[in-house]
Structure formats: structure tokens, C-alpha cells
């Protein structure tokens, strides 16, 4: 099928691209593919939302019953010790971390709403159809994508229900898959889009939604913490947002450049909730949702070139998240808006897609990412030095220091051998505040039709046991937030087990596996989590 524009991914960047395109020219044929069973079902984000990009895209959003309702009313920043906490005055926070004009939202619900706006404008949205393959023209330019075949059994044979994937061809194809998109990754490599850039940096973010007691709930309160349970050399922190309906969004983000293979991001998050300052808020409440997703942390230095013949990258498929701001939705949306303007001029006036870069450089998005660029790398010196430097960089110089700190390593290169690093003794789950992975994954509603090929591919199937287990104690058992990877002993022989039906599409394994031995590919359509208001 042929379209003017084919968009891969129904998150904030892809939907903004689609909406802007139809606003610029209602006659454009635009289609958008989404791998989840419905728009929003694979979206997970904090989220404190800055409306800047939405104000540009849909200025009257307040009149259109958008799910942006809870204004930030109060802010707190805590440094946590093991049992103590120190409140940091908010006026001493860099302005990028001040949220008083922002809203506490569910990004999944915002995407559902954006999808409605897009459909009203005539965008054709197809949920349940992952793009599994990039198609190229003879001259090497991107021609479009092919969707995943449906109804293949685990051995690769066609089942009775087999339905072949189809080719969707676009004059321009926009890749909006989010952090570590599996097609975006191929494009970056093929077109060397990251040439001369620092290696991309990632984090893993967890989120739970709790319904809490009235007396503990302060609608509009935004709280962040740094410190315990992470040590000084591990980058990360928490968020807790008091949303409407007595809900709080509790979450934790850990940089995937951590060094200790014994570290379990999931368990760090679980024990974080046992801190007195946190526990007292959620105690007596009920956990109703759980999820996790990798996110981009590299920012400016790691941002690849975002155009190539026939295609553009938008949002975190490239990596437009603003780390010190802890926000990526408004930047993703802005990149989508710029992409749409680029495509419109490309189709109408035959301008080269490279004008995307010029438009980007002239936008507030570029300025934001540029000024934010030195924060995350400074934390490679540890939490305390990182904070001191960030204060100088962000408060005194407002990101205008005349140098740019570099990232030296990709996240998969940072693990130290297991025998050189301390083991971490995580407390047992109490099933009140902390929970095991199985019951957490249950809340995600994730499912993959059984009898289909495993969508987590091993380049070398023997490597996990022969090398990674020995050297790193197979960290996949711990970095996976859904318990997909297990090492089981069978008759005294170790076996690497992949429970791919549990996968919640976070992409952490694809990023952190020390030998890059795991590749995440798209499973059959509609597979994966069914997040509600995440």
C-alpha cells in the first residue's frame, strides 16, 4: 500500500508528526503503525508534562477535553539517606527542574487523546501492526516498511491462521518507535547516523501506580529524590507524582551505565519504597499498575543525525529526551512537529530532507538540549560532584559553559566482572510495599500469543552460559524488569531460559547485554503489555 507518509510508532512524537502533517495539508495520505493492541498500551512515562509543544500543535487543547488536568501545585526534592531524608529547597533547584507551570498526566492517556485528534484529521492508525522490516529502494534510500507476518509457529512454520505481512510504502517514512527502536537501531547503523557522536546513554525507568489513602494524598504534589538506595557512583533517582483520583505515580530511574553486575534495578526500586519518607505515603494504599521502559539519557552529545534518504527519526528513536529536566514528551512532540514541516516542504517544494537539521537547530528544542548537555555526564564523577557541577552549570551559567563533557562508554561496556564487585543482599518482598517480579508482571497485562517464534534473539545461543554467566553472573536475570531471563539448573547443567511471553518491551536487554548478544525484534502484533493510564 502506498502513502505519502508512513509513521512507525504511536507515541507522542509519531502522533505529533501525523497531526502536524494533516494540519499543513489535509490531502496528504498519512498512516501510522503501532505494535501495541491499541494506542497507549505500550506507553509508560512519569509524567510531568510541559505543554510548550502541545500549545504549538493544538493551541485550544484545553477546550478539547484533553486528559491534562492536574496542575503541579507543590514541589519537593529530597536527598535520601538510609533512614533519614533531607529536603532541598526548591528555589535552589535549577530552573529546568522547576515544574510549577506543568501538569501531572498519564502519557498513555495523552497519546490516546492525540490519536483521536489525528483520526479526526484523517490519519489512518493501525494498532496491532508492528513494522518488522525496513524496505529500501535500489538507490539505497528508505522506501517504507513491511509489517510482521502473523500466524507463524515457534519453529517458523505457517499456521492455519497465517497472514502475511504487507509492504507499506511512503514518500517519506518516519521512525517514531521510542527509545531503542529496533528499526531505528538498524538505520543508525546502516546510514552511520551516529558517526562522530558520543555513544548513546540509556536508563531503565520503573513506574507503579498506587491508590493511596486520602490523608496521604496531595493532588498536584511533585516529589523527586536522589541518594539511597543507590550508591554514590550509580546514577538514578525517584519520582512520586500525586495525580487525580487519589493516585500517585511512583517511579525510579537508574542509568544503565551501572557497573556492578549484581545490581538489580527492579530490586533497587522495590527497596526504595521501603524508605520511611516514601513508605508513609503509600502505606495503607494499593498498587494497581506496574511497568518499566528504557529511556534515553545521552541527550545532545549522543543525538544521531536525524535524517537519511527517504526517512526521518523523531523523538527518542533518535534521543531527544532532556535528562536534567526529566522530560521527553514535549521534546519528542516538537521533533515531530519539525519533522512534519520538513516533510511538507520536501513534498511540495522538493527541498532536501536535510532541512530537518536546520529547522531543528533553529528551534527551542535544540537550545534546550544544548543547555542540558553537561548534566548527565558530570554524574560519572559521582552523585556529589555531579550535583555541585550541575549547580554551577545550570544555575550560574545556565548551560552555557564553553565546553561539552563527553560520554566515553556505551552502557553495555560498563559492567565489571562479577567476582570483582560486591554482591547485593536485597530484602525479601513483603507483598504490601514490595512485590516479586511475577506478581508485578501480572499487573502489566502482558501477553504474547503462544506458539510463535521467540522475539528475543541470541546471536550466540551458548554465550549466556559459557561466558556471561561465568564472567558477569548473567546480569539479564537482574536487569530484566519482567523476569524474562532465567538460568535454571537441569541435572546439574545450567540452562539459559527465555520466557519471552513475559516481555514488556522495555528494550533493556538489547541495550545492557555486555556482548550485545540479545537482539529485540518485534513479536506478533498486539503482543506486549496492556498498560492503562501509565
Give the C-alpha separation, 64 to 45, whole Å: 22
The smaller minimum CB distance to other proteins, of residues 211 and 345, is found at 211
Q: How far is the CB of 532 from other proteins (least distance, A)?
A: 5
φ, ψ dihedrals at 440, nearest 5°: -70, -50
Provide the binding-site residues for other proteins, judged by CB under 8 A: 1, 37-38, 40-41, 106, 108-109, 112, 124, 126, 129, 147, 150-151, 159-161, 163, 166, 168, 211, 288, 442-443, 445-447, 525, 530, 532-533
Dihedral sign for Cα atoms in the order 163, 165, 167, 173: positive
Q: Label residues 279-296 b or e (16+ Cβ within 10 Å = b).
A: eebbeebebebbbbbbbb
Q: How far is the CB of 105 from other proteins (least distance, A)?
A: 12
The smaller minimum CB distance to other proteins, of residues 124 and 357, is found at 124
The smaller minimum CB distance to other proteins, of residues 111 and 313, is found at 111
Give the C-alpha separation, 483 to 494, whole Å: 17
Q: How far is the CB of 441 from other proteins (least distance, A)?
A: 11
β-strands 311-313, 167-175 pairing? parallel
What is the Cα gyration radius of the chain? 22
The smaller minimum CB distance to other proteins, of residues 114 and 318, is found at 114
Q: What is the DSSP letter of 415?
A: P
Q: How far is the CB of 515 from other proteins (least distance, A)?
A: 33
The smaller minimum CB distance to other proteins, of residues 432 and 454, is found at 432
CB-count exposure of residue 482 (10 Å: 0-12, 13-18, 19+): buried
Q: Label residues 80-114 b or e (16+ Cβ within 10 Å = b).
A: beeeebeebeeeebbebbebeebbbbbbbbbbbbb
Q: How far is the CB of 108 from other proteins (least distance, A)?
A: 7
DSSP calls for 347-385: HHH---TTHHHHHHHTSHHHHHHHHTTTHHHHGGG-HHH
The smaller minimum CB distance to other proteins, of residues 338 and 441, is found at 441
Distances (CA, A) of 107 to 4, 124, 140, 330, 446: 28, 21, 36, 11, 18
The smaller minimum CB distance to other proteins, of residues 202 and 206, is found at 206
Give the C-alpha separation, 483 to 503, whole Å: 8
Q: How far is the CB of 481 from other proteins (least distance, A)?
A: 17
Q: How far is the CB of 524 from other proteins (least distance, A)?
A: 9
The smaller minimum CB distance to other proteins, of residues 194 and 289, is found at 289
Q: How far is the CB of 533 from other proteins (least distance, A)?
A: 5
Amino acid at each position: 500500500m502506498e502513502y505519502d507518509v508512513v509513521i512507525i510508532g504511536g507515541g507522542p512524537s509519531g502522533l505529533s508528526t501525523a497531526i502536524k502533517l494533516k494540519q499543513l495539508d489535509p490531502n496528504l495520505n498519512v498512516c501510522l503503525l503501532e505494535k501495541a493492541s491499541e494506542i497507549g498500551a505500550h506507553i509508560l512515562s512519569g509524567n510531568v508534562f510541559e505543554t510548550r509543544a502541545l500549545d504549538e500543535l493544538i493551541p485550544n487543547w484545553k477546550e478539547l477535553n484533553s486528559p491534562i488536568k492536574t496542575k503541579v501545585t507543590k514541589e519537593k526534592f529530597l536527598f535520601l539517606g538510609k533512614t533519614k531524608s533531607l529536603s532541598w529547597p526548591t528555589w535552589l533547584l535549577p530552573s529546568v527542574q522547576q515544574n510549577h507551570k506543568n501538569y501531572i498526566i498519564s502519557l498513555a492517556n495523552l497519546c490516546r487523546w492525540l490519536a483521536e485528534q489525528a483520526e479526526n484529521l484523517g490519519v489512518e492508525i493501525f494498532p496491532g501492526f508492528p513494522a518488522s522490516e525496513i524496505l529500501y529502494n535500489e538507490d539505497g534510500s528508505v522506501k517504507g516498511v513491511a509489517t510482521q507476518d502473523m500466524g507463524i509457529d515457534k519453529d517458523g512454520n505457517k499456521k492455519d491462521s497465517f497472514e502475511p505481512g504487507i509492504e507499506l510504502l511512503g514518500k517519506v517514512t518516519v521512525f517514531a518507535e521510542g527509545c531503542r527502536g529496533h528499526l531505528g537501531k538498524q538505520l543508525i547503523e546502516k546510514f552511520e547516523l551516529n558517526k562522530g557522536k558520543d555513544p548513546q546513554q540509556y536508563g531503565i525507568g520503573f513506574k507503579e501506580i498506587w491508590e493511596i489513602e486520602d490523608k496521604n494524598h496531595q493532588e498536584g504534589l511533585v516529589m523527586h529524590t536522589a541518594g539511597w538506595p543507590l550508591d554514590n557512583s550509580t546514577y538514578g533517582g525517584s519520582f512520586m507524582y500525586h495525580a487525580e483520583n487519589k493516585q500517585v505515580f511512583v517511579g525510579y530511574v537508574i542509568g544503565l551505565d551501572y557497573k556492578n553486575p549484581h545490581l538489580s534495578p527492579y530490586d533497587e526500586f522495590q527497596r526504595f519504597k521501603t524508605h520511611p519518607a516514601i513508605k508513609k505515603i503509600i502505606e495503607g494504599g494499593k498498587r494497581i499498575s506496574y511497568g518499566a521502559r528504557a529511556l534515553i539519557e545521552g541527550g545532545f552529545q549522543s543525538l544521531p543525525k536525524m535524517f537519511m534518504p527517504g526517512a526521518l527519526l523523531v523523538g527518542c528513536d533518535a534521543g531527544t529526551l532532556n535528562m536534567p529536566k526529566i522530560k521527553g514528551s514535549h521534546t519528542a512532540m516538537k521533533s515531530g512537529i519539525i519533522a512534519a514541516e520538513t516533510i511538507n516542504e520536501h513534498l511540495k517544494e522538493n527541498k532536501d530532507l536535510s532541512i530537518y537539521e536546520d529547522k531543528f537547530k533553529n528551534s527551542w528544542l535544540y537550545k534546550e538540549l544544548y543547555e542540558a548537555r553537561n548534566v548527565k555526564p558530570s554524574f560519572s564523577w559521582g552523585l556529589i560532584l555531579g550535583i555541585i557541577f550541575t549547580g554551577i552549570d545550570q544555575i550560574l551559567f545556565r548551560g552555557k559553559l564553553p565546553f561539552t563533557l563527553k560520554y566515553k562508554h556505551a552502557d553495555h561496556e560498563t559492567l565489571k566482572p562479577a567476582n570483582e564487585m560486591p554482591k547485593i543482599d536485597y530484602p525479601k518482598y513483603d507483598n504490601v510495599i514490595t512485590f516479586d517480579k511475577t506478581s508485578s508482571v501480572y499487573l502489566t497485562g502482558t501477553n504474547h500469543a503462544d506458539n510463535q517464534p521467540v522475539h528475543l534473539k541470541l546471536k550466540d545461543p551458548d554465550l549466556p552460559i559459557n561466558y556471561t554467566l561465568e564472567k558477569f553472573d548473567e546480569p539479564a536475570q537482574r536487569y530484566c524488569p519482567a523476569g524474562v531471563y532465567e538460568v535454571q539448573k537441569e541435572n546439574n547443567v545450567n540452562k539459559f531460559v527465555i520466557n519471552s511471553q513475559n516481555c514488556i518491551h522495555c528494550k533493556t536487554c538489547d541495550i545492557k547485554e555486555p556482548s550485545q548478544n540479545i537482539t529485540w525484534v518485534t513479536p506478533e502484533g498486539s503482543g506486549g503489555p496492556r498498560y492503562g493510564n501509565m
